[in-house]
Structure 1
Amino acid sequence: MNIMLINSAKEWGGTEKWALYAADGLAGLGHKVYFGCRGNMFQNRSLKNNVEFVTFPFANNADIVTLFQIRSFLKKKSIDVVMPSKQREYFLAGLAAKMFTDTKVAGIYGIDRPIHNLRNRIVFYHLFDIVYVNARKIVEVLSKDKSFDVNKCRLVYVGVESLTCNDSTRQRMRESLGLTQNQICIMGIGRVASQKGFDYGIKALSILIKKHPDIKLVIVGSGAIEEHKKMAQDYGVSDKVIFTGFREDIPDLLQAMDIYWLPSRSEGVPNTMMEAMAVKKPVVAFDIAGVAELIKNEENGIVVPFEDVEMLSARTADLIENPQKRKTIGERGYQTVVNDYSMEKMCQVMEKYLLELVKK
């Protein structure tokens, strides 16, 4: 197949990582893969296979120049399937594919919320031929909208790359964060915004420090940092929270922590949670969306009721006080992602659905 993935982002994140690794994996399965983007952020990253990059302006969500450039490229290269991965290119790529081309469109939806935006409703309902989702919960949410054809959904769990862990990297990262050798480090990663629920994390931390005053919470990501700093100050934990801002060295940074928190309000199956499991760290997460599809409570992670910061604090305290339990859950989480959620397996499932789509 001739496949084109598109991502118009200016900043690296989970969706960008997923799109690039998916392109690399599909190329490794023998397909001709192109990657549409706006600059050189993607080209500078090392890949195992041959992916050809193409740049488009992406001036705005209705950029006519980009629309016709994508359409021209789809026709010129006889693209079988185009896969837009961000909201900006949903409409542009979807419409371009339907403008006198035979290209099929495989969209991506990775959050457990209904589709309310009018533009997105047009795209998902009329322009996308199939929609990749990464959790069964998302299918359940979308199925409640009777005007959406839920038969378009294809479940493909996120895959993770195997990560190499070593003591020297852990020590180097902890020193860079100002952590002492035995200090417990809790980490959360994602855009600092309401969806990611770091406000819940700060509230839980204010409870947790009463029993464990020496812990640190490291929040990794850009966004409303000043607002969250003010919140940490209001809860009396400003000296316990480290905001790193945007970081690209996530695989190394993850090794600095002891426990990973996922207090999000909505997700699919988050990349960062799986990456934390891939470095053998225990995850404590709110019971949302695809979390329970991946984590079996008390076996390969800890799941607590949504918004229950008291329980988030209590279950974390239990892990702090039981190092062997922390290690055991981390090891089981690692086995889960290595055995069932590899990048290779993800790409094989994607390929199966793409072949079915093209043959229709």
Structure 2
Amino acid sequence: MSRPLSEELALQHKVLHICLSRGWGGLEMYPVRIIPELVRQGWRAYVLTLEGTRLAQALADSKAVEVRSVRSPSRALWQLPALVRWLRRRGIGVVHCHKSSDLRLGALLKCLCPELRLIFTDHMGVTRPKHDPYHRWVYRRVNRVLSISEATLARNRKAFPLPASRITPLYLGVDTARFTPRLEAAERQTLRDDLGIPREAVAIALPGRLTPGKGQQVLLDAFMRLVDAGDRQSHLVLIGGLEAGEGGNSTFIASLRQQVTERGLQDRVTFTGFRRDLARLFEVLDIVCVPSRNEAFGLTVIEAMAAGKAVVGSDSGAIPELIGAGCGRLVDPQDPAAWAATLRELRDAPALREQLGTAARRLANARFTLAKHVTGLRAVYEDIDQPWR
């Protein structure tokens, strides 16, 4: 006897996200960001994660998702029969993995439940070939690999043992409405005061984990070049956690702080620590910098664009795909002198900053919305061919 249509639809519209990571970066935040929109578009979401992680905590009070936690990735493997029963009781038809190491569990679930569609998003950008026997066994069971940029797509099609047709590009997206300015003038001034930004200063900021790869050092070097050239107008804001549990590199952070102190720039450089109000922080910044050496995507770039900021990004990785002509500036991530020159140009041209920010917001709303990303994701879940642009 065939299932009723309503039951078939229920099976088609349930997805399990697997993210067995103890970190807290873009990869781990991804389910938190997309699930509300996924639910709005008609899907029921489930998440398998590790006990006590930031991801588990972030989802704990959500009514939009059911969370199942395990103590370790190996414990998840021991619980495989129970996980299969859990999947089948709930009628889950799609499993979406976000770490390559989680694909082992996904592939085993697919072996036991051949009806599942197994999806993997490569958030990091693969760095070495995956053609050994183990990876061939795993990827034979993957229905689709999602590449988050053209930069990673080319590498993925070389590295993964899959036909090119099963490796699909899909840009990430953000809820652009969150970044629409909301603060009154007095509130913006209060926030700038709290951050130690002088009233007439041009605030230059870098939001992101404080680690060498994110480029804080090259930006600090560029800022010190401005100071050496007589700049008394600019103020540098480094936004990101200062503890290891918040994604920071303590040795690197100590080095940055020491350089600031040795140059007597404590009043001109702000370390904000981890902030949950980035959308509001953007309102009091003038220039947003993303000097990462090799971003697989660059979520901060599109967030700053959605906020209408003038963005300076690295001319490397995926960032050039995001910053369109007339929306910002691109600079070599290893050239502090070039960064200083670009910052000087934008510092002295408020009308240009506004022009670039307006164009950036327009582009973000056209290409990088969360709704657009989830619509593309649903097409992958439902196995519908769809142009990605």
Measure the CA separation in 2 of the matches of 1:45 and 1:241.
Answer: 37
Instruction: Using the TM superposition, give the Cα deviation of residue 115 of structure 1 relative to its aligned residue in structure 2, in angstroms.
Output: 3.9
For the pair 1:207 / 2:253, whether they are aligned, the reply is no
Instruction: Using the TM superposition, give the Cα deviation of residue 88 of structure 1 relative to its aligned residue in structure 2, in angstroms.
Output: 5.4
Who is 1:248 aligned against? 276
User: Deviations for 1:92-111, whole angstroms, at most 9, x for unmatched residues?
Assistant: 33433333452121111133
Instruction: Using the TM superposition, give the Cα deviation of residue 11 of structure 1 relative to its aligned residue in structure 2, in angstroms.
Output: 5.8
Aligned residues: 354
After TM superposition, the structure 1 = structure 2 runs for residues 106-117 of structure 1, keeping only pairs within 5 Å, are: 106-115=119-128
User: Deviations for 1:279-312, whole angstroms, at most 9, x for unmatched residues?
Assistant: 1111101112221212124x01111124222111
Who is 1:230 aligned against? 255
Instruction: Using the TM superposition, give the Cα deviation of residue 145 of structure 1 relative to its aligned residue in structure 2, in angstroms.
Output: 3.1
Q: Which has the larger radius of gyration?
A: 2
Q: Are 1:2 and 1:80, in contact at CA under 8 Å, matched by a contact in 2?
A: yes
User: Deviations for 1:66-101, whole angstroms, at most 9, x for unmatched residues?
Assistant: 545543322222211111224553433343333345
Instruction: Using the TM superposition, give the Cα deviation of residue 276 of structure 1 relative to its aligned residue in structure 2, in angstroms.
Output: 0.9
Change (3 A) 1:262 1:70: farther
TM-score, normalising length from structure 2? 0.81
Specify the SS of the correspondent of 1:82: strand
Instruction: Using the TM superposition, give the Cα deviation of residue 226 of structure 1 relative to its aligned residue in structure 2, in angstroms.
Output: 4.2
Instruction: Using the TM superposition, give the Cα deviation of residue 275 of structure 1 relative to its aligned residue in structure 2, in angstroms.
Output: 0.9
Who is 2:8 aligned against? none
User: Deviations for 1:170-203, whole angstroms, at most 9, x for unmatched residues?
Assistant: 3233222111212122111222223212222222
Instruction: Using the TM superposition, give the Cα deviation of residue 124 of structure 1 relative to its aligned residue in structure 2, in angstroms.
Output: 6.5
Of the structure 1 ranges 33-42 and 104-113, higher mean CA displacement relative to structure 2 is found in 33-42
Who is 1:164 aligned against? 180
Who is 1:318 aligned against? 345
**Which letter does structure 2 place at the counterpart of 1:141?**
R
Who is 1:264 aligned against? 292
Sequence identity (%) = 22
Instruction: Using the TM superposition, give the Cα deviation of residue 340 of structure 1 relative to its aligned residue in structure 2, in angstroms.
Output: 1.9
Measure the CA separation in 2 of the matches of 1:111 and 1:120.
Answer: 20
Who is 1:303 aligned against? 330
Measure the CA separation in 1 of the matches of 2:340 and 2:46.
Answer: 46
Measure the CA separation in 1 of the matches of 2:20 and 2:160.
Answer: 31
Q: Which runs of 5+ in 2 are unaligned?
A: 1-12, 242-247
Who is 1:190 aligned against? 208
Change (3 A) 1:61 1:122: farther
Measure the CA separation in 1 of the matches of 2:353 and 2:162.
Answer: 43
Measure the CA separation in 2 of the matches of 1:149 and 1:187.
Answer: 42
Measure the CA separation in 2 of the matches of 1:52 and 1:119.
Answer: 36
Of the structure 1 ranges 232-241 and 166-175, higher mean CA displacement relative to structure 2 is found in 232-241
**Which letter does structure 2 place at the counterpart of 1:187?**
A
Q: CA RMSD in A?
A: 2.9
TM-score, normalising length from structure 1? 0.87
Please, which of 93, 100, 104 is the counterpart of residue 106 of structure 2?
93
Measure the CA separation in 2 of the matches of 1:23 and 1:245.
Answer: 27
Q: Are 1:111 and 1:266, in contact at CA under 8 Å, matched by a contact in 2?
A: no
Instruction: Using the TM superposition, give the Cα deviation of residue 136 of structure 1 relative to its aligned residue in structure 2, in angstroms.
Output: 0.6
Q: Are 2:286 and 2:309, in contact at CA under 8 Å, matched by a contact in 1?
A: yes
Measure the CA separation in 2 of the matches of 1:37 and 1:292.
Answer: 33
Change (3 A) 1:72 1:309: farther
